[in-house]
Chains A and B, each alone.
Chain A
Amino acid sequence: MRLAQNGDYEAAWREIMRINPLPAIMGRVCYRPCETACNRGQLDETVGINSVERFLGDEAVRAGWTVSAGPSTGRRVLVVGAGPAGLAAAYHLRLLGHDVTMRDAGPEPGGMMRFGIPAYRLPRDVLDAEIRRIVDLGVTLELNTRVDDVAAVRETDGFEAVFLAVGAQLSHRTYVPAGDSARLLDALSVLRHTAGGAPPLLGRRVAVYGGGNTAVDVARTARRLGAADAVIVYRRTRDRMPAHESEVAEAEEEGVRMCWLSTIARAGEGRITVERMRLDESGFPQPTGEFDELDADAVVLALGQDSDLGLVSQAPSVATAHGRIVVDSAFMTGLPGVFAGGDAISGDRTVTSAVGHGRRAAQAIDAWLRGRATAEEALVREAGYDLLNPWYYTEAPRQHRARLEAARRTSTFDEVVAGLDPATALFEARRCLSCGGCFECDNCYSVCPDDAVIKLGPGLRYEIDLEYCKGCGLCAAECPAGAITMIPEQRQPT
């Protein structure tokens, strides 16, 4: 943010790329947990960190900025799965100088970002550009290659370490009594075929069963494929829905209907029977015995996903639990040198956490290959809102990204949310409060009644001259960002 505030977008992008190799993608699909924590939310509205990230990512794609791999170590690492976790791990391992081979069972890299996230949220040219940048770092990409037994492949092909990022590609099934002519589909195959250019025939009325982000994606996709009526059937209430609030709101804008507190009891031809539910004291839905009928040509099940863990079934030391691989704090499975991340391990199953897994696993793999302990990440000193002095921040309303008009959102897969232009991106970056971080406003230097703050020059910040400081604390109180801490002086024993 600091670099973006100065208008130095390339430096700001390079700063992001130290952590996140997919800023243009993350600037679109991330659910922005960081903005929940943003202190500016208590002043007016949170800073659009995500929209600035997307702007920088798009600038990088437009200008063709690239990064270069680190000096080669000659160590070979296999990454299984070319989704967000695998791509992030491959990127960071290349920066650390390791030879990376990435294998994916699919025909194109991207994993769920390509086959799960619809194009109106993530245009394919952006996806391709960011993946190409990682592959161009020297990653050997082998597509349509399924890894069946991780231990055997590692042995025969001579990899020192393996990172498993196989994702969760299998749709969860549930038993729905259905007539012969009922059309039941699973959400992932609908999304995958749509992404592959061969959308399935859904009919005019589509019921989607489930309350997660995938369910919302399917319902919105169905609207774009020509369904006049898309209904999400979910057994709990809206506030208990795991889908992200902004997605649900966008879906409702597009005419997706919601049917709360309902389960599908029976599916027949052109018609389904839903049972009304009510929540008990513990918030769990209980059947009421009341039934309704809904018109639906097709029912899409979006009830969660499982990982295909066949590749570790012959490695008994790799523990699994609840259909996910068990890893330690360094992302290592029970088999030394075999690491796992992304949707295949427990987590919240978002692109955001997958990219984070990829980075941290790459660091752990690097440490393991070099025989070192994993480096502890430096703790960032957080400044809560109470440490700030909000008086000094100017009134600056949040810059919202434009959205596609509703008519085009039900007929095309054009991207719904537009990006910021350079002026609004700069404005948004400058709304950042820099909580806890000095941004050289010279307030401490100028409010000291005792001239005890020494200005060291641009970029060098300040020093307190303790010979003359009387400890009044005005500098700390009037620091906008709460970057100055008062520490009581310890009396020296005589």
Chain B
Amino acid sequence: MPVEQIPHQQTGSLVAGNRLLAPEQRSGQARPDRANSLTCGHRACRGCGEALGARWVVDAALRATGNRLIAVNATGCLEVFSTPYPQSAWQLPWLHSLFGNAPAVATGVAAALRATGRADVRVLGQGGDGGTVDIGFGCLSGMFERNDDVLYVCYDNEAYMNTGVQRSGATPAAARTATTQAVGTEPGNVFGQGKNLPAIAMAHEIPYVATATVADLRDLEAKVTRAMDVQGARYLHVLVPCPLGWGSEAHDTIRLARLATQCGLFPVLEAAYGEVTAATRIRRRVPVEGTCAGSPGTPTCSGHASGPTWSPVSRRRPIGTSPGTACWPHRHPRRWPDGDPVRHHARLGVEPDQSDRRLARRATRLPRPVSALCRRVPRRRERP
């Protein structure tokens, strides 16, 4: 874990600040002089996880580089809500070209800086999951494979939210989107599809890959800071819940991300050269299955007190659940390489009411066991 865990002291390092800690032990976002690179007045929805995550990421990158940073943005929510022509909410040099070419543009910016002798200026590429996992994937893979000196950050809200919540390659199984409705016996998004981009990035054996969420923002900040210490291609995958697309309450953004990590569906890890080097331990385990304790709009906001909002689905058996409790019909019987059956979404023969459907809408997924994937890829680059 890159962020130092400080026990006791009332809230320890779990909160951003904490007056009982020395100023250098508090997060950068607790400082009154923080950069506010994505400043107020942008047009993100209420409770936008992406706007929150982006400010933490870009502010941390600015601090790590001494404000010598250029950001390149793919098309997506982040670009649309921050820069309606002729305005901009960005307080740093910022470029936008197309939906699919942000990694390539970032590569070009890095090359131009190198050619002009400005190697001290670093480059940050960023986009949503659509621009990263689907449309920009070829450019991103090229950027990884050439090991260009770019930190690329994917803000994963699990669908094309900007254009009306359509399914993307990062949409998890059984998730409801405009194009994968949970109707009749259909579970929502189909099981067994989609890409696990952190694992793919690790398969490129780039120097640094990490996942993070907006539930542990100090961890996110520390990972960006660590990534800026590394030269070469780096990839950061950040889970950012989207109240509009997920149909969740605006105040539940952080809580949902926390539940995703605490039920084991979204592992928070770090990897170097294709090997996992650190993982954040689950602090208070919650079951994936079960119902949401609070009805929609109830201001219970802790992973501790309430159950998760997810339906009883996951692609692998989640930690803390017993086998056999998910009794959905195996319409697409599949097995993992280790022989573990892929479990399916079930309706129990009862037409769900609206609240069940609401609960069944979301599901995140566990990335495939990356070590198994990585072993098959021959090593091409020598470690420094």
Contact = CB atoms under 8 A, between A and B. Distances in A.
Interface string B34-48: 001011111011111
A449 B16 contact: no
A441 B258 CA distance: 19
Contacts of A388: 302
Contacts of B96: none
A312 B118 CA distance: 94
B8 A445 contact: no
B289 interface: no
Contacts of B15: 392, 441-443, 480
A393 interface: yes
Contacts of B12: 394
Contact of B299 (A392, A427, A477): A477
Contacts of A393: 10-11, 14
B303 A474 contact: no
Nearest to A427: B8
**Chain B, interface residues (CB within 8 Å), range:** 35 or more
B32 A432 contact: no
Interface in A385-441: 386, 388-396, 427, 430-434, 439-441
A284 interface: no
B203 to A, nearest CB: 33
Contacts of A392: 11, 14-15
Given A442-B26, A447-B217, A389 B11 contact: no
A475 to B, nearest CB: 9
Contacts of B255: 477
Nearest to B240: A449
Given A386-B300, A474-B254, A394 B7 contact: yes
B30 interface: yes
Interface string B129-150: 0000000000000000000000
Interface stretch (A134-142, A263-271, A332-340, A465-473): A465-473
A2 to B, nearest CB: 9
Contact of B29 (A439, A446, A480): A446
Contacts of B39: 451
B301 interface: yes
B216 to A, nearest CB: 10
Interface stretch (B68-76, B245-253, B371-379): B245-253
B282 interface: no
Given A391-B284, A441-B18, A480-B15, A450 B42 contact: yes
Given A394-B11, A478-B301, A443 B16 contact: yes
A299 to B, nearest CB: 51
A5 interface: yes
A451 B40 contact: yes
A445 B16 contact: yes
Contacts of A391: 14, 258, 284, 302-304
B30 A446 contact: yes
Nearest to A393: B11
B46 A471 contact: yes
Given A427-B8, A451-B39, A468-B40, A445 B250 contact: no
Contact of A447 (B20, B41, B252, B254): B254
A392 B13 CA distance: 9
A390 B15 CA distance: 11
B299 A473 contact: yes
Contacts of B252: 477
Contacts of B249: 473
A394 B14 contact: yes
Given A394-B9, A468-B40, A476 B300 contact: no
- Looking at chain A's contact residues, is the secondary structure mostly helix, strand, loop, or mixed? loop
Contact of A394 (B10, B36, B44): B10
Contact of A465 (B7, B40, B42, B48): B40
Contacts of A458: 19
Contacts of B250: 470-474
B304 A473 contact: no
A442 B304 contact: no
A434 B252 CA distance: 23
A474 B18 CA distance: 18
A75 interface: no
B55 A451 contact: yes
Nearest to B53: A449
A480 B10 CA distance: 10
B172 interface: no
A474 B253 contact: yes
A470 to B, nearest CB: 4
A455 B27 CA distance: 14
Contacts of B27: 442, 446
Contacts of B48: 449, 472
A6 interface: yes
Contacts of A432: 10
Contact of B9 (A430, A446, A449, A471): A430
B242 to A, nearest CB: 11
Contacts of A430: 8-10, 20
Contact of B49 (A433, A449, A450): A449
Contacts of B301: 389, 477-478
A445 B17 contact: yes
A468 B12 CA distance: 30
A476 B251 contact: yes
B52 interface: yes
B151 interface: no
B32 A450 contact: no
Contact of B52 (A389, A447, A457): A447
A446 B16 contact: yes
A333 B40 CA distance: 62
B115 interface: no
A467 to B, nearest CB: 8
Contacts of A474: 47, 52, 250-251, 253-254
B350 interface: no
Nearest to A396: B8
A68 to B, nearest CB: 30
- Name which of B9, B26, B49, B56 has the most chain A CB atoms within 10 A of its CB: B9
A390 B255 CA distance: 12
A452 interface: yes
Chain A CB within 10 Å — which of B19, B29, B56, B249 has the most?
Answer: B19
A486 B48 CA distance: 18
Nearest to B303: A391
A369 B369 CA distance: 79
A165 B26 CA distance: 52
B29 A442 contact: yes
Contact of A472 (B30, B251, B302): B251
Contacts of B18: 441-442
Given A391-B304, A431-B10, A442-B16, 12 more contacts: A392-B11, A440-B19, A445-B17, A445-B30, A447-B52, A449-B51, A450-B44, A458-B19, A473-B250, A474-B250, A476-B251, A480-B11
Of all A-B residue pairs in the complex, the 4 with the closest CB atoms, nearest first, are: A442-B17, A473-B251, A472-B47, A477-B301
9 contacts: A389-B301, A430-B10, A440-B17, A446-B217, A448-B52, A451-B55, A452-B40, A468-B40, A477-B301
Interface of B: 7-12, 14-20, 26-27, 29-30, 32, 36, 38-42, 44-49, 51-52, 55-56, 217, 243, 249-255, 258, 284, 299-305
